[in-house]
Structure 1
Amino acid sequence: MSLEKVSILIAARNEEANLPALLRSISELSYDKSKLEVIFGNDVSSDRTPEILNSFASLHSYVKVIHLEPKKDNKPLKGKARVLEQLAKVATGQFYFFTDADITLPKDWIQGILKHFNTKVGVVVGLTTLGKGNAWSAFQGMEWLSALHIMYVLSENKIPSTGMGNNMAVSKEAYWAVGGYETIGFSIVEDFALYHAILKKGYDFKQAFTPEVLAYTKPPERFFEQRKRWMKGGFESGSSLIFTAMIQVFLFPIILFLLFFKVQLAFYIILSLFLFHFVQIWYIEKKLHLEGYLKYVLPFALYMPVSWFLQFLVFLWPSKIKWKGRDY
C-alpha cells in the first residue's frame, strides 16, 4: 500500500531553547522521509531560532523554512494562525500535521495518526503530556492525560470537544473545504477554531488514544498566562470541556465551605475525587504503557480543584493575554 504524502506545519517564535529536542524527534520519525515534508514558519524571532532552523533544513532535504516579515497589513489574522496559514499555502501533502516547537514527537506519530483517517474523517487529535521530572510537572501531565481521556470518551460517543494545536492532523481536503485560517479568521485558540470549522462542514473527527501518538511537552514558563488563554478561548468557542473545567473551579469553594459545616460530606467528596482519579490514571497508564504517575494521585486530586479555582480568578482579572511576547 502506497504511503500518503504528509506535511508537518510548525510555527516557531523565539524557540532556541526548545528546538533541539523537537528537531531530534523529527529526524527520528519512522515515516518514509520521501513522503514527508516539514515546514517551519519563523515568526519574527529575535533569538537564534532562524539560524537553528536554517542549519537543520540544510541537512535534511524534506525540511523547509519560511521566514515571515513583521505584520504590516490590517488583516485580522495574526499570531500563530497567521503563520500556519502561510505554511498551508505552500504545503504539498495530503494531510497537514500540526505540532509546536516545544514538543518531542514519538517516532511512529504519523502512522499512529493516519490510521484514524478515512474518507469521512477530517480531523484527528493526538495525545500530549508532560514528563514526571517533579511533582509540578507530573500534576500537569496527569491533567493533560485526564482531559484527553475525557475527550477520547466523548469522541467514542460522537461528542466533539476540541482540537489541540501541538498534536493534531487534518486532511488537506477538509482544511481547504473550510477555506483555511484565512477564512476562519483569528482566534486565541486557533486549534479549536479549525477543529470546529471542519466539523461544521460535515466532516467526522477522531480522538486517538494509543502510545504511538503520545508526545511530550515542557511545563510553561508562565502557567497562569497559558491557562488564562485557554479559558478565554474555551468560553469564546463554547467547547464542551468548559463544563468539566467549571466543575473543577467550583469544587474548591464547595469543599472549603463543607469543611466548616459538613466535615463528613467534605471527606466523602475528597475521597470520591481520589478514587475517580486513581481509577482514571490507572487506566491511562495501562492503556498508554506509562508508569510513575499513579503515586501522585492523592495530591493530584487536591491540586485539580485548587489549581482551577486560582486559574478562574486569574481569568477574571481584567488584563490582556500575553503569549509569546505579544498582547491579545
Structure 2
Amino acid sequence: MVSVLVAAYNEECVIAEKIKNMSELDYPADRIEFLVGSDGSSDRTVKIANSFLDIPNLKVFELPRGGKVHALNALIRAAKGDILVFSDANTMYDRQAIRMLVRRFGDPAIGLVSGQLRYKVDETSGQGAKSEGVYWKYENWVKMHESKLGRLSGANGAIYALRKGIVPEIRTGIVNDDFYTATYTMQAGWDVIMEAEAVAYEVPNDDMGSQFKRHVRDGAGHYQAMTVFWKMLFARKGSFTYVSHRVVRWLVPFLLIAAFFSNLALSFINSVMLVVFCLQATGYAVLILYWFVTSRGGELPGKIGNFIQLTFYFMSVNLALLVGFFKCVGGKQCAAWETQRF
C-alpha cells in the first residue's frame, strides 16, 4: 500500500494537472491513495482539487496555514500506506515512477528511495533555466555514485519514498524537509539510495530573482541542518558523503571570500599573486556587468554567453547561500514557503 503526499500552497495553476498525473500512474488502484493537503491556500487550490473527488482514492485536506512541514505531518498521520511517497504539486511523474520506487523496498536494509528529477529544458528555455538544468544533471550524477554505497546525502523533495514509521514526524521549524527526512533515516541506520528509473519532470523557473529567493531559503535550511545533524560531522554511517557533498559545498561562500582577501593581501608582496588578483577582480566585474545587462532584458549569445551564465549561476547560488546563512543565524528564515510560478 502506497500513500502519495502532496503539500500545496496556492497551486491553482498546476493542481489539476498534478491530480490527473497521479490518477494515471501505473499502480494498482486498490493499493495507492493520493493525499493533497492545502496549507492555508488563499486561491482556488482546494476548490479545484475537490472537483476531482470522483477519484475514489483521492483525499483533499484543507489545513490552516502552518508551513509545508505542518501540512506534511498532517498527511503522514492520515496516510494508510506502508510506503509514503512525497511529491510537489508542480512535479509530474513518469507512469512507472511509483513502481520503480517501491520495488527497491524489497531490500530490508533500505529505508528511503529518492527518484530522479529532470528539468524540461529545450532551445526555447532561457539561460537561467538551462543553468538549472545543467546543475541538476551534475547533481544526479553525484547522487548516483553515492547511492551505490547506500549513503545518498539528501533526497529530492519532488520524488522520494519512505518506509512509514522511520520518521514519525518531521521536526517543527525545519526548512528543508526532504533533506531532514533522508538524513534522519540514514542516521537511524537505514540505507538511503536513488532509483534512476523513477523519473519526475518539472519546468524550471527561468526568473533569476525567483531562483535566488529559493536558493536563499534552501541555504538557510542547509545551515540549519548542520546544527540538527551535528553528529554526522563525525565518523558514522553516511558521514563521508554528508561532509564531502554537503558541508564542504555550504562552506564555499566563505572560501570564496577568503580566497579574494588572501589574494588581495598576497598581491602586495608577490607579482604573480597581483596578476591572479587582477584576474579574479576582472571575473567578478564581468559577472556584475552580465547581471546589469540581463536584468534589463539583454542576453549574451554563443558559447561565451553560456559559460558566463553558468559562472554567474554558480556565484549567485553561493551568494544566496551566504544570505541564507545570516538568515539562519538571525532566525529570520520562516519555515512556511511561498509558491512562485512563472
TM score, norm. by length of structure 2:
0.72
Which of 243, 247, 255 is 1:242 aligned to?
A: 247
Structure showing greater Rg? 2
**Letter aligned with residue 321 of structure 1:** Q
For the 8 Å contact 2:250–2:321, the answer to whether it is kept is no
**Contact 2:3 2:35 (C-alpha < 8 Å) held by counterparts:** yes
- Alignment match of 1:194 (pick from 168, 176, 181): 181
Asked if the contact 2:93–2:201 (Cα under 8 Å) also holds between the matched residues in 1, the reply is yes
| Equivalent residue number for residue 142 of structure 1 | 134
The amino acid across from 1:127 in the alignment is: Q
Distance 1:295 1:150, change over 3 A: farther
- Decide whether aligned partners of structure 1 residues 92 and 302 sit closer, same or farther in structure 2, where only a CA change above 3 A counts: same
Partner residue of 2:333?
Answer: 321
SS of 2:93 mapped into structure 1: coil
Correspondences of 1:124-203 after superposition (within 5 Å): 124-132=113-121, 133-172=125-164, 176-181=165-170, 184-203=171-190
Q: Secondary structure at the match of 1:141?
A: helix
* Aligned residue runs from structure 1 range 66-145, under 5 A: 66-70=61-65, 78-117=66-105, 118-132=107-121, 133-145=125-137
- In structure 1, the gaps of 5 or more residues are 71-77, 267-293
In the alignment, the residues of structure 1 paired with residue 149 and residue 71 of structure 2 have an alpha-carbon distance, to the nearest angstrom, of 34
The residue identity in structure 1 corresponding to 2:56 is S
Mapping of 1:158-307 within 5 angstroms? 158-172=150-164, 176-181=165-170, 184-210=171-197, 212-219=198-205, 222-238=210-226, 239-240=242-243, 241-247=246-252, 250=255, 261-262=275-276, 298-299=307-308, 301-307=310-316
Please tell me whether the aligned partners of residues 215 and 317 of structure 2 are also in contact (alpha carbons under 8 angstroms): no
The equivalent residue for 1:64 is 59
Given residue 179 of structure 2, which amino acid in structure 1 is its aligned partner?
Answer: F
Query: Do the aligned partners of 2:176 and 2:218 also contact (CA within 8 Å) in 1?
Result: yes
Deviations 1:5-34 (A, max 9, x none): 211011111110122332232132122222
Across the two proteins, how many residue pairs are aligned to each other?
Answer: 282
**Structure 1 position 31 matched with structure 2 position 59:** no
Give SS of 1:42's match.
strand
Could you tell me whether the CA contact under 8 Å between 2:114 and 2:161 is conserved in 1? Answer: yes
How far apart are the structure 2 equivalents of 1:217 and 1:259? 43
The amino acid of 2:337's aligned partner reads: K
How far has the Cα of 1:161 moved from its partner?
Answer: 0.8
Aligned counterparts of 1:79 and 1:263: Cα–Cα separation in 2: 45
Corresponding letter in the other structure for 2:24:
E
Give SS of 1:233's match. Answer: helix
CA deviations on 1:143-198 (whole Å, 9 max, x unpaired) are 123223212212223434112222111012xxx244223xx443111222222222
8 Å contact from structure 1 (residues 129, 144) kept in 2:
yes
The aligned counterpart of 2:48 is: 52
Distance in 1 separating the partners of 2:147 and 2:175: 23
Q: Distance in 1 between matches of 2:274 and 2:14?
A: 46
Please tell me the residue identity of whatever aligns with 1:101.
A
CA contact (8 A) 1:99 1:165 kept: yes
In structure 2, the partner of 1:279 is none
Deviation at 1:38, TM superposition (A): 0.3
Moved over 6 A (4+): 255-260, 263-266, 294-297
Distance change >3 Å, CA 300–CA 35, structure 1 → 2: farther
Q: Aligned-pair distance for 1:69?
A: 3.2
Matched to 1:130, the amino acid is Y
8 Å Cα contact 2:146/2:193 also seen in 1: no
- Give a deviation string over 1:83-125, Cα, whole Å, max 9, x none: 1111122211111000011112111110121222221111011
Q: TM-score of the superposition, structure 1-length normalised?
A: 0.74
- Structure 1's 250 and 324: CA in aligned 2 closer, same or farther, altered over 3 A? same
Q: Displacement, 1:250?
A: 4.5
* Partner AA of 1:138 in structure 2: K
Contact 1:124 1:205 in 2 (8 A): yes
Kindly provide the CA deviation profile for residues 239-282 of structure 1, in whole angstroms up to 9, marking residues without a partner as x.
5423235447756985996996139998xxxxxxxxxxxxxxxx
Matches within 5 A, 1:10-21: 10-21=6-17
The RMSD of aligned alpha carbons is 3.2
